Amino acid sequence: MKLRVRHELEQRRAGELDPVVKARLGEAARGWIALSSGAIHAFCAQLLRRRPVDAGVDPVFQELAQPDAFRGFSRVFQRWVEQRLTSPSPVLLHAFARLSWREDHDLSSNT
């Protein structure tokens, strides 16, 4: 991530800009490597660790590895979809009706 940001700063610096802006972009590109950066989940974890009570999380929580996180998300999302389908909103019922009509229409057109 650091390299991508630094590359973007250098690219912008290479364009036609005011000399002061060019100088500041150069300083930013050189100083960027010294900054702490990480993926968004690391940033969020840092925020949660700073204020665990406010966030309602265990202060000593551990982040999941990506495969575990995907599996957890899939389970939660599947449960959410199932709950929505057991008592669908009028909007969802209307969307299903339109899809059903379209599918029936397409099948009758092909025969």
17-55 per-position pLDDT tens digit = 788 888 887 777 777 655 554 567 778 888 899 999 999
> Residue 21's pLDDT is what?
83
Nearest to 92 by CA among 107, 81, 102, 76: 81
Cβ neighbours, 10 Å, residue 25: 19
Q: What's the pLDDT at 73?
A: 92
Residue of higher predicted confidence among 76 and 16: 76
User: Is-contact 9 29, C-beta < 8 A?
Assistant: yes
Cβ burial of 100 (10 Å; 0-12, 13-18, 19+) is exposed
* Domain spans in the chain, listed from the N-terminal domain onward: 64-111
Does the pTM surpass 0.85? The reply is no
Residue 52: both structure tokens together: 């665990």
Q: What was the pLDDT predicted at 110? A: 60
CB 64 within 8 A of CB 72: yes
